[in-house]
Amino acid sequence: MAAPVAVVTGASTGIGLYTALGLARAGMRVVMVGRDRERTEAARRLVVRRVPGADIDVALADFASLEAVRELAADLLARHERTDVLVNNAGLISPRFAKSAEGYELTLAVNHLAPFLLTQLLLDPLKASAPARIVTVASQAHRGARLDPATMTRPPDWTPLSAYGSSKLANVLFTRALARRLDPASVVACCLHPGVIGTDIGNRAGSLAGLGWRLARMFLPGPEKGAQTSIFLATVAEPMPFHGTYVIGKTIAEPDPAARGDRLAEALWTESARLVGL
């Protein structure tokens, strides 16, 4: 049988890179998705050096553009007959208010709308490759966050960290709504907190918060540890118990109360579908 195909977004560095490495070690054919060709190709070479004989492909997309996400999906569909695992890992914290190519607040656009669209566009090959998995990297930063689907692309009280928290709350709510639409015998959808990991993402969290992060990250575990839960959920022999759940380590955890409401999850789904043009 052909090796299962795993698509990992944000795979040129950090947790995404080590997720790709772990899935290659598990015998999967890995598509490493990144924004920059040179950095993503360097990441591919690193994986191949560490896993001789690994079957690694590279695909490019800037998640600040929904058109680029559509082009990525078309490219993946053209080059790969199946998709067994989708790891929605790409994310950012914008240090200042900025907009995506479509005019949406950048952090929400990259962290939620882009993976929302990519997941929809890859659902058919995922279902055809059953049993398949959709693993979305959320965060404990969703706790205490607020999200109003009607204003999420132009939040009135924007800060770098509030925008990030809202986007991570959207990840958890998206997983909840997605799981309600899927048969877990065909596709399991789950999300996770990777841990407080010393990656570059917090460097851009604003001047004071960014400085604090750069000091704190010296004492934090590295991205290899941060990838462990994504790898676990992508490879665990019995994934169905994790369908629709929020996972920390290898354990199902209760998300914030705001992430448990079906009404908000459905409102987010409806507005997200409208915003991405589905």
What is the model's pLDDT at position 2?
82
Mean pLDDT by 10 residues, the chain (278 residues): 93 97 98 97 97 97 98 97 97 96 98 98 97 98 97 95 97 98 98 76 52 51 87 98 97 97 97 97
Question: Residue 197's pLDDT is what?
Answer: 61
pLDDT of residue 213: 43
Phi and psi dihedrals of 23, rounded to 5?
-70, -35
Q: What pLDDT was estimated at residue 203?
A: 46
- Fold held by 5-276: Rossmann fold (3.40.50)
Catalytic residues: 164
Predicted pLDDT of residue 221: 57
**How much is the pLDDT for 150?**
97
- Angle at which helix 66-79 crosses helix 114-121, to 10 degrees, equals 30
pTM for the structure as a whole: 0.91
Q: What's the confidence (pLDDT) of residue 92?
A: 95
Q: What is the residue whose two structure tokens read 């790709």?
A: 20
pLDDT number for residue 234 = 98
Tell me the C-alpha distance between 98 and 100, whole Å. Answer: 7
Q: Give me the residue spans of the domains in the chain.
A: 5-276
The label of the residue with tokens 């090959």 reads 125
State how far the Cα of 60 lies from the Cα of 47, in Å rounded to an integer. 17
